[in-house]
A and B are shown apart, each in its own frame.
Chain A
Amino acid sequence: MPDNATIGELLARQGISRRALLKYATYLASIMALPPAASVAMADALAKSHRQSVIWLSFQECTGCTESLTRSFSPNLEDIIFNLISLDYHETLQAASGEAAEAARLSAMKANKGKYVVVVDGSVSTLDGGIYSTNAGKTNLQVLKETAEDALAIISVGTCAAFGGIPHARPNPTGAVAVSDIITNKPIINISGCPPIPEAIAGTIAYLVTLGKIPELDHLGRPKSFFGESIHDRCYRRPFYDKGLFAKSFDDEGARNGWCLYEVGCKGPVTYNACATVKWNGGVSFPIQSGHGCLGCSEPNFWDKGGFYKPLPASTGENGTIVAGALVAGAAVGAASAALSRSRKNAAKEKQP
């Protein structure tokens, strides 16, 4: 497949009509809540643009984010990597390995200097120079800095790349940090989640390629089209919350009736993601629909928020010792002040004639 062909030419060669392209662009536009007119602009831009060079870097991660992307239904992975982008480096998906793989990354960086997009999944180890995660003789830290240098933009896929994620959880033995803690001079889009919703990854990449700009982001750098609303606000179980009808355990009447899972630790009210609307596996379901509370996986430090099954209003601290200590100390101070008062009274009595 010649690299200089436009996406429109490539699609035409595969027998994909402009009508089909428009339909596809309309879907993309609607999933990202763009105005209807945007779909035509997107289709035109798509047809005229060259495939976007993408370098995908995997650091301290579990490959769950890539696994998630492979389950994207619309646009699906094949659509993306064969039609939208030129995936020039991806350790899991590329055929090449060893020196040849590294050479592919370096040549893509050279050929598309200042124009390629870097996708990162996984956090970056920084402790002891980042030696706890290396690849091809280089630390992740080195590879990130080197690759980001001439990148157009960076997409941090998954909570690990976006916020540090599980490697960043206490006690964080590798000094794991988010991509945005290292790279500060490039536009960064965070698509958090553990893993992120495949449509959120694919949709954001498609947006960037077709419109050539960064989508509107929230205060944590996440596209508002996917992370603009809380799970709770769009949850189909929300009416039960409003009525005060809660499941008290995973096997009680409330759970069987599909009542709100707030009491069994659901973090939906403080979690921003599109799970309740876009859902998973092509819109089949999402965790709450399957009977489990939201873990809050698209939020920073979700692993260290006091436990998945601890309800939101409950204190996250271990209060037993501190409260017992306070009780003993308070009683001791009280007893001492009473004793002082007693001794004063006795002294006053002795003074009396």
Chain B
Amino acid sequence: MTLLDFARGPALSFAYAVFVFGVAWRLVSLLLLPRNKELSQAKPGAPSVFSAAVLGFVRHLWPQKAYLRGTLFATLNGYVFHLGLAIIVFGLAQHILVFQSLFGINWPNLPSSLISVAAVVTLASLVVALVRRLTSPVLRLISTGNDYIAWFVTTLPVITGLLAVSHLGAPYETLLAIHILSIALLLIVFPFGKLMHAFLVFLTRTGTGIFYARRGAEI
């Protein structure tokens, strides 16, 4: 069995299984947790739970004016690499093939050159995020191993993917195998660390929106 056979076969199957197991475990355990009964009266004129949830989510898409000065750069940089990752993951023809093989659906791909530009920008943005984390005293203090692991497993596929597409440093089959293995690592780590925010962000931000809207607090 070659490295590519291993990556495309057992490694991906194992990674998919761990990912689905972990995400199901964390989401189900969280959603079934006993919740405190809401004892307060809803403020008159408070929006419905659904509107409050949507408003809470939308409101958090951009920082409050009072905090903007300190967080503007981090917010913008965050948008850059999140959008970059989305363009790469959902726009590259090779990636769409993976979704097609898993879910049977496909969509038109973006030009490869555009994806390459997006990947380079994303990589630069991720590096900037790390530099900021390492150089900002406060951020450094509150950072844990979990943050660095999340950064590493996210950045690694971007680097290996760029190398695979540009055929740099090794034969394509080796580069592709390494890229697939780096994705497998991402999928395995995903449910058990901060990357889970990709799912949990919808719970936390909507939950906060509902909580404060009921009390008439502006967020």
Contact = CB atoms under 8 A, between A and B. Distances in A.
Interface of A: 230, 232-233, 241-244, 246, 248, 262-263, 269-270, 300-301, 305-306, 310-319, 322-323, 325-327, 329-331, 333-335, 337-339, 341-342, 345
Contact of B97 (A242, A313, A334, A341): A313
Interface string B92-117: 11110110111000100111110100
Given A230-B172, A269-B176, A314-B98, A341 B21 contact: no
Interface in B80-137: 92-95, 97-98, 100-102, 106, 109-113, 115
Contacts of B102: 315, 319
Given A330-B23, A334-B25, A315 B101 contact: yes
Residue of A312, A313, A330 with highest tally of chain B CB at under 10 A: A313
B42 interface: no
Leading 9 A-B pairs by shortest Cβ distance? A334-B28, A330-B24, A338-B32, A317-B13, A314-B101, A244-B112, A334-B29, A330-B21, A326-B21
A170 to B, nearest CB: 12
Nearest to A333: B25
Contact of A317 (B4, B10, B92, B115): B10
A184 B112 CA distance: 46
A345 B111 contact: no
Given A315-B13, A327-B24, A341 B4 contact: no
Interface residues of B, number: 50
Contacts of A248: 106
The prevalent SS among residues of A at the interface is: helix
A153 to B, nearest CB: 26
Nearest to A301: B5
Contact of B28 (A306, A322, A330): A330
B12 interface: yes
A284 B126 CA distance: 49
B29 A337 contact: yes
Interface of B: 1-2, 4-5, 8-10, 12-13, 16-34, 92-95, 97-98, 100-102, 106, 109-113, 115, 167, 171-173, 176, 180
A243 to B, nearest CB: 6
Contacts of B101: 310-311, 314-315
B30 to A, nearest CB: 8
A231 to B, nearest CB: 11
The prevalent SS among residues of B at the interface is: helix
A315 B20 contact: no
A305 B5 contact: yes
B27 A334 contact: yes
B112 A242 contact: yes
B8 A316 contact: yes
Given A244-B111, A323-B17, A331 B172 contact: no
Contacts of B111: 243-244
A244 B112 CA distance: 5
B118 to A, nearest CB: 12
B173 A269 contact: yes
A319 B113 contact: no
Contacts of B16: 315, 319, 322-323, 326
A311 B8 CA distance: 11
A317 B8 CA distance: 7
B8 to A, nearest CB: 5
